[in-house]
Amino acid sequence: MKDWKKKIVPLAAASAIALAGCSGAAESSDVPEETDEQRNVTEQTAEKDDATKTDEVKNIIFLIGDGMGVSYTSAYRYLKDDPTTQFVEKTAFDEYLVGQQMTYPEDPEENITDSAASATSMASGIKTYNNSVNIDNDGGTEVKTVLEAAKEQGKATGIVSTSEVTHATPASYGAHDPSRNNQNEIADDYFDEMIHDEHKIDVILGGGIAFFEREDRNLAQEFQDAGYSYVKTAEELRKDHNEKVLGLFAPVGMDKELDRPDEQPSLAEMTKEAIERLNQIEEGFFLMVEGSQIDWAGHDNDIVGTMSEMASFEEAFKVAIDFAKEDGHTLVVATADHSTGGFSLAQGSNYIWDPAPIKAANATPDWMAAQLVDEGKPIEEVLTIQNVGFELTDEEIQSVKEALHSGDEDLRTIVDDAIEKIYDTRSNTGWTTGGHTGEDVNVYAFGPSSEKFAGHLDNTDQAKIIFELIGAKVEIHDIPVQSENNEEE
């Protein structure tokens, strides 16, 4: 841990430093040389200024860290910090922070959003009810998404996700359904809903084989018959160079980054592969990339999983930024749909959050619980230093043994919770819920017109700005929902 005491400078000393700096300003010999860190900041500022001066937005990469509230981005900064340096190092996200957005839904019963309502707002520019996938709550009107508008403009389109590609967030860019739970129907929409006689999504990468290879319909084969490649492993994806591809790498959601087998591509690799294909179209492209399982780990109150997924999302973000810097006509926006878990850095009266045990982990608690419960492996074989990242105490081992022999119906969850508790206690991590929370979330942007995303936005503004940037004339008629007592919500 850093010695935070060394950051405290006595007021008199600070004043003296400030006065000395002022009095010596005229004497060049007294002006301190610019440090490497200051020089980097200056260069990055100039680089961002240059990027916003280009008017044309040809490509848009929109990244969503599902559940990535401010506590997550702050914790990830602590996690990445080098304890040997004086100040906390910034993450790849930090220099591109431009503002925040509100996330609330327009639901007659709930005022904290789910992923479907929030993603629908970001994709179509309307507020709607929780569970809705691009269906307005005015009686069932289907609404146009930015992905569909981009396709109408002749752009290539893609969705990338570590969940099922039919899950709430990706679905909200490429489908229409009254319920996010209708994943078969959402998969059908991906194939059946056409724009200019073409399938509207050119690149689809993520999990969800079960919703495309079904007894009632084999959509994977239908996509292949329509000219798409169909790949199911990272190696197949790398070897394929077709402009249109359906890549499904798990029966449902993909594995978390920390547990990911080599057969599954990382989120960064899927992002890179998607960009390479979409960038072949002269008119440009729209790509939505979701780091889905930040949220899943947050629901599980799994601090190891959340930070693993934050690292995965950061790598995908870097891929997008690097491409945008080289291209010059690509806008990158990254944000979250909501926060999850009521995650707090530190809990109780001890003002410290220690990321060291989290950083040490080489497997998620969920993976370890599966080995113990589903595979029946002994504790001595699973709770090793190689997996856990440190040597457990007798009390910690006993807590997992007690969970394993509890006889509970949902044994895997009980064991998973016991392992998670070890990391929570050692790191002093707090949680308040297994659901979503309603605070505003950060917005990051780089590239031409990135300044349009600055300040305090509503999540519907994301779609409205993008519609404008791509020249799509989309009229948004968002009628307020009526509650049971006939008052506007």
Q: Is the pTM of this model over 0.85?
A: yes
Contact 284, 329 (CB under 8 A): yes
Pairing verdict, β 198-199 and 194-195: antiparallel
pLDDT value of position 477: 80
Beta bridge partners of 455: 99
List, run by run, the mean pLDDT of 10-residue segments along the chain (489 residues).
Answer: 36 38 40 50 52 74 98 98 95 98 96 98 97 90 97 98 98 97 98 97 98 98 98 98 97 98 98 98 97 98 98 98 98 98 95 97 98 97 98 98 93 98 98 98 98 98 98 83 44
**SS3 of 259, please?**
helix
| 115 in active site | yes
Q: Rounded to an integer, what distance in angstroms lies between the CA atom of residue 432 and that of residue 410?
A: 21
pLDDT value of position 479: 65
pLDDT value of position 480: 63
- Consecutive H or E run containing 304: helix 303-327
Q: Please report the sign of the dihedral spanned by the C-alpha atoms of residue 316, residue 321, residue 322, residue 324.
A: positive
Enumerate domains of the chain plus CATH numbers: 57-344+439-469 (3.40.720.10), 355-427 (1.10.60.40)
Q: Which two tokens stand for residue 23?
A: 């009095």
Contact 367, 259 (CB under 8 A): yes
| AA identity, residue 242 | N
Cα distances from 339 to residues 33, 64, 103, 294, in angstroms, run 42, 12, 9, 9
Q: Residues 115, 172, 292, 339: which is the catalytic one?
A: 115
CA 205 to centroid of chain Cα atoms: 15
The single residue listed with the structure tokens 């993909």 is 254
The single residue listed with the structure tokens 């009686």 is 139
Q: Rounded to an integer, what distance in angstroms lies between the CA atom of residue 185 and that of residue 175?
A: 9
Q: Rounded to an integer, what distance in angstroms lies between the CA atom of residue 466 and that of residue 331?
A: 10
21 backbone dihedrals φ, ψ, rounded to 5°: -65, -40
441 backbone dihedrals φ, ψ, rounded to 5°: -125, 160
The residues, any chain, with a CB within 8 Å of residue 342's CB and separated by 6 or more, are: 430, 431, 432, 433, 437
pLDDT value of position 21: 41
DSSP symbol at 210: G
Beta bridge partners of 196: none
